[in-house]
Amino acid sequence: MKNKYNEADAQNFINSYPQIPAELARRTYTSRLLGREEELVLHGGGNTSVKGRVTNLLGEEIEVIYVKGSGWNLGDIEPQGHPALDLAYLRKLRDIEKLSDEEMVNQFRTHLLDASSPNPSIETLVHAFLPHKFIDHTHANAIVALTNQENGNELLHQALGEKTAILPFIMPGFPLARSVIELYEANPAIECIILMNHGIFTFGDDAETAYNLMIHYVTLAENFIKQAKTKTVTINGSGAPAPDLVLPILRGAMSYDQAKNNRQLFTLELRSNKQILNALARPDAEQLFVSGVLTPDHVIRTKNYPLFFDFSDCDLHDIKEKIKNDVAGYRRNYKNYFNEQTTAKQLDRTMLDSSPRVILVRGLGIIAAGKTAEEAIIAADIAEHTIFTKIKAAAVGQYRELEEKFIFEMEYWSLEQAKLGKNTPLPLQGKTALVTGGGGAIAGGIGRRLLAAGARVILTDVDQARLDIVCAELEKQFSPLMITSLPMDVTDENSVTKAFSKAIAVSGGLDILVPNAGIAHVAPLAELDMAMFRKVIEVNMIGVYAVIKAAIPIFKHQGTGGDIIINSSKNVFAPGANFGAYSSSKAGAHQLGKIAALELAEAGIRVNMINADAIFADTVSSGLWDVVGPDRMRARNLDPEGLKEYYRQRNLLKAEILADHVGNGVVFFASGQTPTTGATLPIDGGIMAAFPR
């Protein structure tokens, strides 16, 4: 591992924080160096500290420890990510015989210098009890590859030398802190402490020493592993299933009903490259990879075990049955594990959901599941590092997983679960929506409201430039992880097929389809060009048919129902003169929606229509009004603002109709608040001629 410490960079970093103690700024600098090495730290793992002195409000100089706070990632941590605590007081806690986790956290909170600080690391007492000024802790892959072995102690001493002290796995908290300081005091010449199945601590009286020791010992472990021969496998390419077939089936099998009409759906993250496929092609892949986590910290993200599939020589029926049966079997095994542990420990706990979080498919790759896109990505990152670390472990010995009793303690430990948060899920959390015509004004409002309701949104359009503008605007308000843009021409069957295949790869499936793409043309029937009439029909009606047809097999493979919400138009019931192509094409699409509602209800797929009127510009100009607006303004001798006011005044409620209003209608249908299909929802402020009838 490359040592990236640079004194000039460190000094420049310190100078950029003139109001912060230099030792804390330097602590932040080396913490970032550690946090940006994925082989050391992943997604909030690891922790660092520095000890110093400050003057309190009474003018007294006191000892403090700055330790990483919960919720901060080392890779981009700021100085405030290391809250300060009263060090002298914390060290007195060593003399206590017992300290519960809850009381330990209370002692941390009541001895912070700033009451608004985040909760300090659960390993704060390890940092406090050790005498060194700077302490670094990581879950380095190479170190863990050696700790998770039948003869781990022997291998670690061979690889790292005699200035290394080793502890068996101990749950983080007060017992671990006591064990660490006792081990150090018995061996004061050591340069690092290894925690079996957990990670490594290094320390020093300056930041550079602690960091250098971390890199040094991890490099020793890496070099030791490199001396061993690893198996190589050539992929033959046979038996690899199509992801747009497997992912929806898997996603449907993993979903479960939290309550009546309230189904939990997962976002899936697919990782597939040559290295991953080679790993999964190993003859011993299932035996090696279907084993416990590298470190118990990972269990809250990935569960303890992955699920493994090999679909060689399987047809569609076999794939469906195997996924259904194996997911059900995984859940049964998890329930047995939960019951065994709670019975043995005489605990009263509420079981977490039993669905797998990591699925390994030979020939396809790693599939990770999460209730949000972020959760799925985190699980995939950990899973990817895990399989390669297990390969390293297998090269030097026999991989040994941690006992389930420790895994359970970590998985159901309140201090660890706090990392996941307890927020109430949003109404569309876990769902994926695809919106056509994504480069238009209405799509901006639909996308905004879907995202606000928790859905992952895929916007498609034939005009990439307009699509990019809408997505960029949405990303100012929502996580880019939740927004995907895909080029798609709804009039081109091949383009639709490719786009839907890519959409499945984004999140594993589809729950909400919003056919929204549309174009307009102004001309009386006598002057309407036949080619233009066909073009409008192609986009506004046949385009709706094309995307509905593409979505049906995805919905059916999932078996979890779905929602199709067609953006029709007020013109369906109240057409306008000189607007024949648009009005008739929208009426045709509306009728297709009713037929789809009849045909798809048996599969739990709801199909509803929204009839909106006069939506003007949003994040981009309205394509319809770019065409229609000039003619309407000339006919009424109005400017753009006057035209908006004209349409506001003509509806019963005198309301301005916004793109977000259409989005609210989409969310209403998609959230299943009523058992409704085949319905038409006018969003027009009330236009009597357009009342559905």
CA distances from 645 to 565, 616, 635, 641, 651 (A): 28, 11, 15, 6, 11
Q: Would you say residue 638 has pLDDT above 90?
A: no
**Contact between 42 and 139 (Cβ < 8 Å):** yes
Query: 89 and 24 in one domain?
Result: yes
Query: 441 and 318 in one domain?
Result: no
Q: In 3-state terms, what secondary structure has residue 544? A: helix
Q: Would you say residue 156 has pLDDT above 90?
A: yes
Query: 619 and 508 in one domain?
Result: yes
- Residue 123 belongs to domain with CATH number: 3.40.225.10
Q: Would you say residue 234 has pLDDT above 80?
A: no
pLDDT, tens digit, 9 for 90 and up, residues 266-309: 999 999 999 999 999 999 999 999 999 999 989 999 999 999 99
At residue 479, what are phi and psi to the nearest 5 degrees? -65, 130
Question: Mean pLDDT, to the nearest integer, of 514-534?
Answer: 94
Q: How far apart are CA 520 and CA 536, in angstroms?
A: 7
Domain range for 556 is 432-684
Tokens representing residue 393 in the block = 């472990």
DSSP code, position 69: B
Query: 262 and 221 in one domain?
Result: no
Query: 295 and 380 in one domain?
Result: yes
- How many domains, in total, are found in the chain? 3
pLDDT, tens digit, 9 for 90 and up, residues 32-52: 999 999 999 988 789 999 999
- The sign one gets for the Cα dihedral 51, 54, 57, 59 is positive
Q: How far apart are CA 446 and CA 664, in angstroms?
A: 7
Question: Mean pLDDT, to the nearest integer, of 63-72?
Answer: 95
Q: Report the percent of the chain where pLDDT is more than 90.
A: 83
Burial class for 557, CB neighbours closer than 10 Å (0-12, 13-18, 19+): buried
- Taking every pair of C-alpha atoms in the chain, what is the biggest distance, in angstroms? 98
Q: Could you say which of 365, 396, 419 is where a domain stops?
A: 419
Q: Would you say residue 614 has pLDDT above 60?
A: yes
Query: 410 and 519 in one domain?
Result: no
Q: Would you say residue 633 has pLDDT above 80?
A: no
CB-based contacts of 102, cutoff 8 Å, min separation 6: 414
Torsion of CA 86, 89, 92, 94, to 10 degrees: -40
Whole-number CA gyration radius for the chain? 30
693 within a domain of the structure (yes/no):
no
**Contact between 628 and 520 (Cβ < 8 Å):** yes
Query: 11 and 97 in one domain?
Result: yes
Q: Could you say which of 191, 226, 261 is where a domain stops?
A: 226
Question: Mean pLDDT, to the nearest integer, of 589-601?
Answer: 98
235 within a domain of the structure (yes/no):
no
User: Considering only CA atoms, which of 184, 345, 267 is closest in space to residue 510?
Assistant: 267
Query: 204 and 103 in one domain?
Result: yes
691 within a domain of the structure (yes/no):
no
Query: 457 and 413 in one domain?
Result: no
Q: How many CB atoms lie within 10 A of CB 26?
A: 22
**Contact between 14 and 25 (Cβ < 8 Å):** yes
CB-based contacts of 181, cutoff 8 Å, min separation 6: 94, 126, 129, 130
pLDDT level of residue 576 (50, 70, 90 thresholds): confident
pLDDT, tens digit, 9 for 90 and up, residues 304-331: 999 999 998 899 999 999 999 999 999 9
Q: How many CB atoms lie within 10 A of CB 241?
A: 20
Give the global pTM.
Answer: 0.91
DSSP code, position 686: -
1 within a domain of the structure (yes/no):
no
pLDDT level of residue 7 (50, 70, 90 thresholds): very high
CB-based contacts of 500, cutoff 8 Å, min separation 6: 244, 434, 510, 547, 550, 551, 554
pLDDT at 233: 59
Query: 591 and 504 in one domain?
Result: yes
Q: How far apart are CA 213 and CA 219, in angstroms?
A: 10
Q: Could you say which of 419, 454, 485 is where a domain stops?
A: 419
CA distances from 48 to 18, 69, 145, 204, 478 (A): 21, 9, 22, 12, 31
pLDDT at 259: 53
pLDDT at 626: 61
Q: How far apart are CA 684 and CA 693, in angstroms?
A: 15
DSSP sequence for 374-394: HHHHHHHHHHHHHHHHHHHHH
CB-based contacts of 498, cutoff 8 Å, min separation 6: 488
pLDDT at 478: 96
Q: How far apart are CA 534 and CA 543, in angstroms?
A: 12
Which residues make beta-bridge pairs with 610? 567, 681
Q: How far apart are CA 144 and CA 506, in angstroms?
A: 32
What is the bridge-based pairing of β-strands 307-309 and 262-264? unpaired
- Residue 464 belongs to domain with CATH number: 3.40.50.720
pLDDT at 643: 66
Run of H or E including 11: helix 7-15
**Contact between 203 and 130 (Cβ < 8 Å):** yes
**Contact between 403 and 394 (Cβ < 8 Å):** no
Arithmetic mean of pLDDT over the chain:
92
What is the bridge-based pairing of β-strands 47-55 and 61-67? antiparallel
Run of H or E including 536: helix 530-537
Burial class for 452, CB neighbours closer than 10 Å (0-12, 13-18, 19+): middle
CB-based contacts of 182, cutoff 8 Å, min separation 6: none
Q: In 3-state terms, what secondary structure has residue 396? A: helix
232 within a domain of the structure (yes/no):
no
| Entry field: residues in the chain | 693
560 within a domain of the structure (yes/no):
yes
Query: 201 and 61 in one domain?
Result: yes
pLDDT, tens digit, 9 for 90 and up, residues 375-419: 999 999 999 999 999 999 999 999 999 999 999 999 998 776 665
pLDDT, tens digit, 9 for 90 and up, residues 350-383: 899 999 999 999 999 999 999 999 999 999 999 9
Q: How far apart are CA 301 and CA 40, in angstroms?
A: 17
- Residue 315 belongs to domain with CATH number: 3.40.225
Query: 196 and 287 in one domain?
Result: no
Question: Mean pLDDT, to the nearest integer, of 55-68?
Answer: 94
CA 618 to chain centre: 28
Q: How far apart are CA 267 and CA 370, in angstroms?
A: 5
What is the bridge-based pairing of β-strands 134-138 and 199-204? antiparallel
238 within a domain of the structure (yes/no):
no
pLDDT at 121: 94
Q: How many CB atoms lie within 10 A of CB 598?
A: 12
689 within a domain of the structure (yes/no):
no
